[in-house]
């Protein structure tokens, strides 16, 4: 049994069924979420003799294998799970906030050419407690309270939707992170965006988190070149589903666009992208490429980035440029884990 992520009602039912008074649920929650207990035996507020009768109960915490910090304060953690698999979590600090970039799977099946994680394929999806643990561990590693969560780490969140939504419920209920401070990022899975809108309503009561859709190209052929799995999901259909999502939830969609020098960053690409998104309740988030050894893509110049931004803004789109973080310490998603896997195999 894993305690991390269980609701107060579930924790209370477990306590009572095992001979403990219901009021201990508050003590359990405090030790799990505020005091960082990693084992039931560490919870000295509970009777020692009773704790010893629960050897099969797990808090659900991972083991910190490696922690690296870039010059700008960005922190990357390599975590080992109970079955020996490893995942990454990234902490991005500013003066006012700490954003945790959470992985939803071990590896990823989407095979995006610019992503280190996609080069290794998918091992498995994460349980909700394994996603919650990443946020707790980042808070402990940095000594700061996480304020924002983005599902932009390893994996495709919409292929692990139920567990992702359950972890969001825990972030809101037990860690005090509101939905408006949470983002789910996807490259797009057929039927799953509509399913997200429906299941979020059922699990969370309302959909107030941000949906970020990774486009990375203004037309279908180029998108298939960068994201091979996009062949199953034409751009036109993806955007239609995004419009349906806006209508169902009342929340705008954020479109992620990774700029690759000479590939998708030319003026005509910006004009083409603007035509697709004109009149859309959306926001465009431009990013610049973090190089990986397996591909020869390059980062565009700052001038190229600003030129692309100006074209979009000139056509009435809301646009921002995300500053690259952690460039001096394996910034691209999956690099730290791939380095460990490569070292282990060799």
Query: What are 267-308's pLDDT values in tens digits?
Result: 999 999 999 999 888 999 999 998 776 678 999 999 999 999
In a domain, 56, yes or no: no
In a domain, 304, yes or no: yes
CATH code of the domain covering residue 212: 3.20.20.70
Active site residue: 101, 112, 172, 333, which one? 333
Confidence of residue 333 (pLDDT cuts 50, 70, 90): low
In a domain, 318, yes or no: yes
In a domain, 145, yes or no: yes
Q: Which of 78, 56, 81, 82 is nearest to 3 (CA)?
A: 56
pLDDT of residue 342: 46
CA distances from residue 159 to 186, 212, 219 in whole angstroms, order as listed: 9, 15, 24
Q: For residue 254, give the 3-state DSSP assignment.
A: strand
In a domain, 232, yes or no: yes
Is 88 annotated as catalytic?
Answer: yes
**Structural domain count of the chain:** 2
Same structural domain for residues 281 and 209?
A: yes
pLDDT of residue 343: 52
Angle value at C-alpha 55, between 54 and 60, nearest 5 degrees = 95
Global pTM reads: 0.93
Same structural domain for residues 76 and 30?
A: no
Phi (first) and psi of residue 12, to 5 degrees: -65, -45
Q: What percent of the chain has pLDDT over 70?
A: 93
- pLDDT tens digits, residue range 29-67? 999 999 999 999 999 999 999 999 999 999 999 999 999
Element (H, E) at 25: helix 24-29
Same structural domain for residues 163 and 45?
A: no
Active site residue: 88, 130, 156, 256, which one? 88
Q: In what order do the strands lie in the sheet with 148-151?
A: 63-69, 75-80, 86-93, 98-101, 148-151, 182-186, 210-214, 253-259, 282-288, 319-321
Same structural domain for residues 276 and 307?
A: yes
In a domain, 58, yes or no: no
Q: What percent of the chain has pLDDT over 90?
A: 86
Element (H, E) at 194: helix 192-204
Q: What average pLDDT does the chain have? A: 93
Same structural domain for residues 272 and 209?
A: yes
- pLDDT tens digits, residue range 116-147? 887 779 999 999 999 999 999 999 999 999 99
CA distances from residue 296 to 110, 283, 293, 300 in whole angstroms, order as listed: 19, 29, 7, 13
pLDDT at 341 over 70: no
Q: For residue 40, give the 3-state DSSP assignment.
A: helix
Find the domain containing 28 and state its range. Answer: 8-51
In a domain, 3, yes or no: no
Same structural domain for residues 188 and 40?
A: no
């Amino acid at each position: 049994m894993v305690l991390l992520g269980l609701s107060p009602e579930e924790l209370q039912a477990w306590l009572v069924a095992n001979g403990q008074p219901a009021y201990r649920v508050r003590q359990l929650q405090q030790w799990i979420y505020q005091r960082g207990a990693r084992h039931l035996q560490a919870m000295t507020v509970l009777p020692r003799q009773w704790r010893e009768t629960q050897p099969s109960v797990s808090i659900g915490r991972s083991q910190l294998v490696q922690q690296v910090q870039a010059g700008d304060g960005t922190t990357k953690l390599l975590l080992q799970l109970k079955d020996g698999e490893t995942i990454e979590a990234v902490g991005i600090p500013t003066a006012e906030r700490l954003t945790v970039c959470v992985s939803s799977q071990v590896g990823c099946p989407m095979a995006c050419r610019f992503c280190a994680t996609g080069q290794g394929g998918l091992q498995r999806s994460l349980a909700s407690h394994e996603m919650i643990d990443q946020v707790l561990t980042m808070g402990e590693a940095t000594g700061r309270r996480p304020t924002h969560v983005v599902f932009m780490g390893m994996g495709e969140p919409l292929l692990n939707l139920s567990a992702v939504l359950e972890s969001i419920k825990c972030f809101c209920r037990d860690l005090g992170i509101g939905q408006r401070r949470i983002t789910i990022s996807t490259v797009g899975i057929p039927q799953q965006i509509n399913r997200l809108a429906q299941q979020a309503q059922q699990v969370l009561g309302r959909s107030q988190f941000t949906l970020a859709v990774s486009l990375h190209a203004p037309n279908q052929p180029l998108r298939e070149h960068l994201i091979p799995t996009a062949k199953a999901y034409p751009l036109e259909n993806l955007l239609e589903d995004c419009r349906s999502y806006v209508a169902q939830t009342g929340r705008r969609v954020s479109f992620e666009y990774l700029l690759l020098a000479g590939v998708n960053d030319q003026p005509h690409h910006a004009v083409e992208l603007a035509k697709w998104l004109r009149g859309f309740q959306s926001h465009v988030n431009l990013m610049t490429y973090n190089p990986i050894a397996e591909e020869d893509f390059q980062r565009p110049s700052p001038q190229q980035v600003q030129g692309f931004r100006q074209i979009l803004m000139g056509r009435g789109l809301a646009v921002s440029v995300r500053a690259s973080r952690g460039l001096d310490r394996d910034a691209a998603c999956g690099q730290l884990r791939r380095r460990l896997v490569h070292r282990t195999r060799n």
